Structure 1
Amino acid sequence: MNSSLDVLIYAHDGRGLGHVSRSVGIGLALRRLYPRLSVLLVSGCANTAELIGDGALDWIKLPSYRTNVIAGKSSGVMGNSNIDDKLLGELRARNIRDIVDAYRPKVFLADHTPQGKHKELLLSHEVSPETVRVLGIRAVVGDVGKVWSEFSADVFSGTYSNILWYGDSSVAGSAELEHLAAHYGVVPHEAGYVSRLSELGYSGARSSAEKSLAGVISIPWSGEGTAVLMPKLAQALGGVDKSLGNWKIYMDLSKPDAEEVVHNFSSLEHVAFAQVGPQFLHDLSNARSALIYGGYNSLTDVMVCKVPSVVLLRGMKDGEQEEHAAILERKSAAVQNVFSDLDVTVEELRDSLRNCIDAEASEFSIKLDGAAEAARYLAALAGVSDVDCRF
C-alpha cells in the first residue's frame, strides 16, 4: 500500500467537546507510545488546539459546524464560516475525501458514526480502499438514530471492519456491547474509558499533595439552561464560606454571551474565570470538588482526577447523559449528585458542593486507560507490534 500516513483520526464536531476530546486522547496516546508513527487528526472543532495543549499531535482544521439546542433537540445553524449547514457538510465531505486520497492512511478511525456528521465521510470511502477503517463508540450511546439506523449499519458493513468501544462492561454491563455487535455485525473491542487528561498528564501536569482550590466548574458549551443556571450558581457560591478556598469556572469566553455570564459573579472575589485549555487538568487535579455537565468527557475527567463532583444534565432527547450519569453514580465516588441544569435549586447547588468538598473520591476499579488501549489496537492494525511500543 502506498501510504503516507499510519493513522488518520476523524472527530465529529458541532456542539460539545466529547467527540474531539476522545479523539485527541487517542492521538496523544499513539504519539506517546509509538513516537515513530505518523498520526493526524481532522476536525472542525475550534477548541482542538486548546485540547491538545503541549501534546505532540498535529491536526487539520475544517470549517466548524455550529449547533443550537432547543427543548433538548439539536439543529445545525451557520458556523463561523457563515456557510449554510447543509452546504458546509457537502464542502467538508470533499475536504475529507481529498485528505484521505492524499495521505492514504493505513488506518482511519472515525468517532461516533461510520457516515460522519451530515454523511461527510461517505465520499472518502470511495478512495483508498486499502485503508482499514475503524469506528469508535462511546460507553453509552443513547437513543441516537444516526448510530442505530439501518443506513449506518449498511455503511459500516461496506467500508469498516472494526469497532472500538470506549467503555467498561464491568461498570455498564454487556448490553451496549451486545447491541453494537448485533447492529453492526462485529464484536467490538473493549478499550475502557478514554481520557485526554490522562494523556496530557504524561506531559508533566501533575496534582500537588495539597488541594489548592475549593472547586472547579466546567461549562464546555452554552445551552438553553445556561442562562437559568449561572445566576443560581453565583448565588450558591456566594453562600459557600470563602475560607474553603477559591473557585475557578472554565468556559468558552469567546462566546457573545460570556460577558453577561461573568457579570453574575462580579461581586465574588473567590471566583475566577478561565478559557478552556490545558490548565484545566492542573486545576481539576488540585480541586477538592467539581461541578460538571454529564458528557462522557467531563465524567471521565473527574473519575481520572478522583474529584467528588456534582453532575448537571441538559435534558437532551437522546437520553445518553441521564443513563450514563445514573450508572456512574452507582459505581464511582467521583459522581456524588446528579441534577437537571434547569431544575436544580440554589440550595441544592450550595449544599452539594459543600458536601463534595468534604467527601473523598476513593479508589475504584473502572478501566480508565482506554486511550492507551485504543492506541495499541490501532498501531497493531497499522502493522506495528508492541515490541516497538514505548511503555
Structure 2
Amino acid sequence: MRFLFYSHDGMGLGHIRRHLAIASALAEVSPKVKVLMVTSVDEVCRLGLPPNVDTLKLPGLRKMANDRYNSRRLGLPTDEIHALRSDLLHQTVLSFRPSVVLVDKNPFGASGEFSMALRAVRSSGGRAVLGLRDILDDSATVRREWPGESVQERIADHYDLVLIYGSPHTLYPIEQYQVVPALRERMTYCGYVVNQSEWGWTAEGTPLLLEREPGRPPIVLGTTGGGEDGFTLLKTFVHASAGAPWEAIAIAGPMLSQQELSTLQRLASDSGVRLHTFIPCLSNLFSKVDGLVCMGGYNTLVEALSQ
C-alpha cells in the first residue's frame, strides 16, 4: 500500500516532524507500506527515515504571512514558484499512484498548490486525509482563513477523513472554529502525534547529556525549532546564561541565517554556552535536561510535555 504525505513547509520543522512520526508508526505496524514524504525542508533526511520511507524535495518557500509565501532560494515570482510546485505535486501523484494521501494543516496547499494533485487522487480512487492540530490558530484567524461555509464544505468534498491531532478533553475545535456539519462528519480525534524516535544524536556532540554526574549544575536547553525566527530569543538566552548557576545548551536550528549564527557563535563562546546548529532528535533531550527555554511552538510543547 502506498502513502503520500504532503506538507507545504513554509516555516519551521513542525509539519515534517509530525509526518515523520506518523510514517515511523506506519512502518512499525505494517513494514511493507511505502511512504513518500513530499516536503521543502532540506534537513528531512537528517531527521532519520524508517524503512520504505523516502522523500521528494520541493523548491523551498518562505512564509511571509498567513497564506503568503515567497520563493526561498530560486528567486522566482510567487505565481511561478507555486505553479512549479503544483506541477511537481500533480505529476508525483500520477506517477506514484498513492492509495492514501495525508496532508498536514493546509488542505489545498500553499496558495492552492495541492488542488490539482488532490483532484488526481480523487479521480484515481485514492483516499484523501487531512491532518489538523487541535490548535490551528486563534479562532478569529481560522474563521478568516476559512470564511463562510463554502471553504469548509469544499474540504468535506475533497477529503474522506479529517484527523484532529489532540483530545476533545483538551480543546474542542469544532466549536471554537465554528465547523459546519458537512466537515464535522469527517472529523475524528486520534490523539497527539509525538516523535518517539530512538535514533542516536550523540554524533552532534552532546554525549555529556547522557551521564549526569552528582553535584553537577542543572542543564537548561534553549531551542527555537527550525530557528528561522528565533535569533532574538536565543541571543537573550545566551546573554542570560553568562555566569548563571546552570549549564546552558543552545540549539540554533538549521534555518537560522549564517550571519545570525555567526553572531550567536561569538556570544556563546564568550558566555560559556554550548551551541549546536542542529540535533536530529532534539525531543529526545527534553527528558534529560532540567529546564527548557523555547518559543512555545506547538510541536516543541507537545513533545516536551510527553516526556
Q: TM-score range by the shorter chain?
A: 0.7 to 0.9
CA distance in 1, matches of 2:240, 2:109: 40
Corresponding residue number in structure 2 for 1:117: 110
Q: What amino acid is the match of 2:187?
A: P
Q: Is the 8 A contact 2:251 2:279 kept in 1?
A: no
Q: Distance in 2 between matches of 1:9 and 1:149?
A: 28
For residues 48 and 150 of structure 1, do their structure 2 counterparts lie closer, same or farther at Cα, with a shift above 3 Å needed? farther
Q: Deviations over 1:138-165 (max 9, x none)?
A: 1111223434565532432332111000
Cα distance change on mapping 1:289 and 1:76 into 2, 3 Å:
same
Relative distance call for 1:41 and 1:238 in structure 2 (3 A) is same
State whether structure 2 residue 270 is matched by structure 1 residue 264: no
The offset of 1:24, in angstroms, is 1.4
Query: Which of the numbers 101, 106, 109 marks the counterpart of 1:108?
Result: 101
Among candidates 121, 135, 141, match of residue 136 of structure 2 = 141
- Distance in 1, matches of 2:44 and 2:146, equals 24
Unaligned runs of 5+ in 1: 306-391
Structure 1 range deviating more: 132-141 or 252-261:
252-261
Check 1:230–1:185 CA distance in 2 against 1; reply closer, same or farther (3 A cut).
Answer: closer
- CA distance in 2: counterparts of 1:284 and 1:250, whole angstroms: 16
Separation (CA, whole Å) in 1 of partners of 2:264 and 2:64: 18
1:25 equivalent in structure 2: 21
Query: Partners in 2 of 1:253 and 1:185 — Cα distance?
Result: 36
1:240 counterpart residue number: 244
Distance 1:150 1:85, change over 3 A: farther
The share of aligned pairs that are identical, in percent, is 22
1:124 deviates by: 1.0
Picking from 10, 29, 35, the partner of 1:39 is 35
CA deviation after TM superposition for structure 1 residue 179, in Å: 3.5
Aligned residues of 1:164 and 1:190 also touching (Cα < 8 A): yes
Partners of 1:176 and 1:214 in 2: how far apart? 41
Spell out the pairing of 1:190-269 with structure 2 (5 A cutoff). 190-196=189-195, 198=196, 200-201=197-198, 203=199, 210=212, 214-220=219-225, 221-223=227-229, 226-241=230-245, 244-252=246-254, 255-256=257-258, 257-269=260-272
Root-mean-square deviation (CA, aligned residues, Å) is 2.8
Aligned partner of 1:297 in structure 2 is 299
Report how far residue 68 of structure 1 moved. Answer: 3.6
Q: Does 1:132 align with 2:127?
A: yes
- SS of the equivalent of 1:195 reads coil
Give the CA deviation at 1:183: 6.6
Task: Read off the aligned partner of 1:64 and give its amino acid letter.
Answer: G
Whole-angstrom CA distance in 2 between matches of 1:64 and 1:89 = 10
Deviations 1:70-97 (A, max 9, x none): xxx6742331222223211111111111
| Structure 2 residues without counterparts, runs of 5 or longer | 203-208
Structure 2 residue matching 1:12: 3-state secondary structure: coil
**Is 2:265 the partner of 1:273?**
no
Q: Which deviates more from structure 2 when the two are superposed, residues 204-213 or residues 131-140?
A: 204-213
| 2:88 aligned partner | 95
- In 2, Cα distance between the equivalents of 1:187 and 1:60? 28
Secondary structure of the 1:80 match is coil
Q: What SS does the aligned partner of 2:56 have?
A: strand
Higher RCO (C-alpha 8 Å, min separation 6): 1
SS at match of 1:293: coil
CA distance in 2, matches of 1:266, 1:148: 50
Name the CA distance, whole Å, in 2 between partners of 1:149 and 1:86.
26
